[in-house]
Chain A
Amino acid sequence: GQNIDQPTEMTATEGAIVQINCTYQTSGFNGLFWYQQHAGEAPTFLSYNVLDGLEEKGRFSSFLSRSKGYSYLLLKELQMKDSASYLCAVRSYNTDKLIFGTGTRLQVFP
């Protein structure tokens, strides 16, 4: 089976850096995705990791360690608009479906 764990809520201050962790157990790993979702809106794609290491994309970076079943999303120079839920999702080999964690709700304060 598959299991994905993320913290439920996090808070941070505008301009700061925050790291959102995700641990997963899956059979046949084929990629880890991070999505951002504002309340009541559609998830939007942020990043993708399939090999170990860091992927950087502007203010957002995502890290993967396949041996540890661990990923994190790093958000730098936080802005108020970054207040949202961040969803970690895993894709298994031989299937296209994404299994999502319950998401981490991030609140950014001035």
Chain B
Amino acid sequence: GENVEQHPSTLSVQEGDSAVIKCTYSDSASNYFPWYKQELGKGPQLIIDIRSNVGEKKDQRIAVTLNKTAKHFSLHITETQPEDSAVYFCAASPPKAAGNKLTFGGGTRVLVKP
């Protein structure tokens, strides 16, 4: 089955700096890679996703890059703000025919210091 590894497990940045979180996956059939933000006591919120036919996607201060050959993808947050503090999870999913189940990384606890 799929295995997703996420680094770092914790990340502390100064407000205004950039944050980068990296994930690797094992199943070359995976073709969908979402990122979720989870605040304390709440469910994960989809913040951005990328599919295997795209190398990069950007949405305001958030961007995701995908390297299918190396089987890794990254989340980039620029101009970080205190409200970006949360736990971020990457995930990978195979095509619908293979069940569409998400496999999550271990999570990265991001702290943005004002």
A and B found bound together: no
Residues of A within 8 A of B (CB): none
